[in-house]
Amino acid sequence: MNPNFLCSPSPAHTLKAINFSVPVHCEDLKNYSCEKRVFKPNISNSTVSLNECLNLDGHGEVCVPLRQLSFSTGHIDESNEESSLFLEGSAYNSVEVSCANRLVLHNNKVLFSAEAESIGEALSRSIEKCREGGSLL
């Protein structure tokens, strides 16, 4: 067990101290950002920051900051690896997305984040985790 954990306030205590409110902290999509990690054999390594706009159930048209990291897996010798690792959706040919509420932190760490295959799904899951966390207070 980490001894520092005993000395730090609990997330619930921290949230009470900032007057946590589900509508203010969870429902305002300006509090969220996402990261998309793309692993493909036919792309270049790159990092791009942009705003991703999408239609999100219950929120309509929304835009969130997105950091996209692209990783080339083309340098991996397919002949020495199982070919199944290069199929769409496999380790060397996939997309991972995570979204997080960047406003509600505990010890500078995100409390409410989620991963999924799409930005909309990850964002919805992150919002739901925030709602659930707020209901525990």
Q: Is residue 1 part of a domain?
A: no
Q: Is residue 100 part of a domain?
A: yes
Judged by DSSP in three states, 120 sits in helix
- The pLDDT tens digits of the residues spanning 77-123 come to 655 666 777 888 888 899 999 999 998 888 888 889 999 999 999 99
Tell which residue, 61, 76, 78, 69, has the closest CA to residue 120.
61
| Residues above pLDDT 90, as percent of the chain | 50
pLDDT higher for 84 or 33?
A: 33
Mean pLDDT of 122-132: 94
Model pLDDT, residue 2: 37
pLDDT higher for 12 or 20?
A: 20
Judged by DSSP in three states, 134 sits in helix
* C-alpha to C-alpha distance for 36 and 91, rounded to whole angstroms: 15
Q: Is residue 85 part of a domain?
A: yes
Model pLDDT, residue 5: 32
On the question of pLDDT at 56 being above 50, the answer is yes
pTM of the model: 0.78
Q: What is the dihedral sign for C-alpha 119, 121, 122, 126? A: positive
Q: How confident is the model at residue 135 (pLDDT cuts 50, 70, 90)?
A: low
Q: Is residue 5 part of a domain?
A: no
On the question of pLDDT at 12 being above 60, the answer is no
Model pLDDT, residue 89: 80
Q: Is residue 90 part of a domain?
A: yes
Model pLDDT, residue 133: 84
E strands of 43-106, at which residues?
46-56, 60-72, 94-101, 105-106
Q: Is residue 104 part of a domain?
A: yes
The domain tally of the chain equals 1
| Mean pLDDT for the chain overall | 82
Q: Is residue 103 part of a domain?
A: yes
